[in-house]
Each structure stands twice: as structure tokens, then as C-alpha cells.
């Protein structure tokens, strides 16, 4: 079911992970499109970096537009390692960039994470920052 306007709180921001952006670029996700239209999407330099590293020329315009988004904080390595230890994230099947995104959302305080990755979505939900559309059962 697509996202509806009433599903958004007035101050909610959403960080979209790399895989979800790629899916949107090639298959136009209605929820992502609505979040963009409503100016609810924020960026993170690690997502942009991953897209640059894996992109072909056809995504150059999209990447340039993503650079214009408001950016959430980038956590320090100390903050990330503390999050990994305190939340027992080892063995959960998520990567280091994923933890940086989670930490940025937590530091920001009003940003939720939208991801198509079920393991990452589960961890984000457990941390209270999973966007409802994450597709977790």
C-alpha cells in the first residue's frame, strides 16, 4: 500500500538507504516519490558515496540532486562502535555503512530510515527509527 499524507507526522524526516534509492531510480517507488514531493527526504554522504561508487552515467543527475538534500549528521567512529556494542548489533547481518546511517538517524532525533533490506529494517524498527513502509512482517 502506498504511503499517504496522513502517515507522516509534521516534523518527520526520512533517510533513504542506497538500495532503496537504486530500486526507486529504476522502478519508481510511489512512497519515495511522495516523500520527495513533500520535502521529507534527507541525505547522508555515505549513501551518496555508495551511489557514486556503483553508478553509471545515467544516475549522475539524480546524484547531483541528492547532494542538494538537507544532510543528517555523520556519526563519529566512536559513536558507531558504541552503538554496535550497546545494541549488540554484531551478527545481525547489517554492514558498517548501515550502522552509520542508523547512528545518524538516532543523533538527529527526528529522522527515520527507509530501507528495502529486511535485516536493516528490523534493526531500525528495534531502535525506534524504522520507517513504517520498511516491509517488516
Does some domain include residue 68?
yes
Does residue 52 fall inside a structural domain? yes
Rounded to 5 degrees, φ, ψ at 43 are: -115, 175
Instruction: Report if residue 136 sits inside a domain.
Output: no
Contacts of 113 (CB under 8 A, 6+ apart): 14, 15, 17, 101, 102, 105, 120, 121, 124, 129, 130, 131, 134
Question: Phi and psi of 34, rounded to 5°?
Answer: -65, -40
The model's confidence at residue 11, banded by pLDDT at 50, 70 and 90, is confident
Q: What's the confidence (pLDDT) of residue 122?
A: 97
Does residue 5 form part of some domain?
Answer: no
Residue 40 CA to residue 50 CA, distance in Å, equals 21
Could you tell me if residue 86 is inside a domain? Answer: yes
pLDDT(40) > 50? yes
Q: Is the pLDDT of residue 125 over 80?
A: yes
- Between vectors from CA 93 to CA 87 and to CA 96, what angle results, nearest 5°? 70
Residue 4 is assigned to a structural domain of this protein: no
- pTM of the entire predicted model: 0.89
Which stretches does DSSP call E strand in the chain? 13-16, 41-42, 111-114
Residue 123 is part of a domain; what is its CATH number?
3.40.50.1010
Does a structural domain hold residue 38?
Answer: yes
Instruction: Provide the residue range defining the domain that includes 43.
Output: 10-131
pLDDT, tens digit (0-9, with 9 covering 90-100), for 46-82: 999 999 998 777 788 889 999 999 999 999 999 999 9
Domain count, the chain: 1
Q: What is the mean pLDDT of the chain?
A: 89
In a domain, 3, yes or no: no
pLDDT band for position 33 (50/70/90)? Answer: very high
Amino acid at each position: 500500500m502506498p504511503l499517504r499524507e496522513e502517515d507522516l507526522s509534521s516534523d518527520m524526516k526520512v533517510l533513504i538507504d542506497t538500495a532503496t534509492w537504486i530500486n526507486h531510480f529504476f522502478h519508481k517507488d510511489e512512497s519515495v516519490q511522495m516523500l520527495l514531493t513533500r520535502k521529507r527526504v534527507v541525505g547522508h554522504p555515505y549513501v551518496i558515496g555508495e551511489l557514486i561508487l556503483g553508478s553509471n552515467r545515467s544516475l549522475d543527475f539524480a546524484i547531483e540532486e541528492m547532494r542538494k538534500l538537507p544532510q543528517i549528521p555523520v556519526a563519529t567512529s566512536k559513536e558507531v562502535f558504541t552503538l554496535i556494542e550497546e545494541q549488540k548489533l554484531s551478527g545481525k547481518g547489517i554492514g558498517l555503512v548501515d550502522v552509520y546511517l542508523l547512528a545518524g538517524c538516532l543523533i538527529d532525533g527526528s529522522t527515520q530510515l527507509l530501507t528495502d533490506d529486511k535485516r536493516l529494517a528490523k534493526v531500525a524498527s528495534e531502535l525506534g527509527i524504522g520507517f513504517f513502509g520498511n516491509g517488516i512482517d
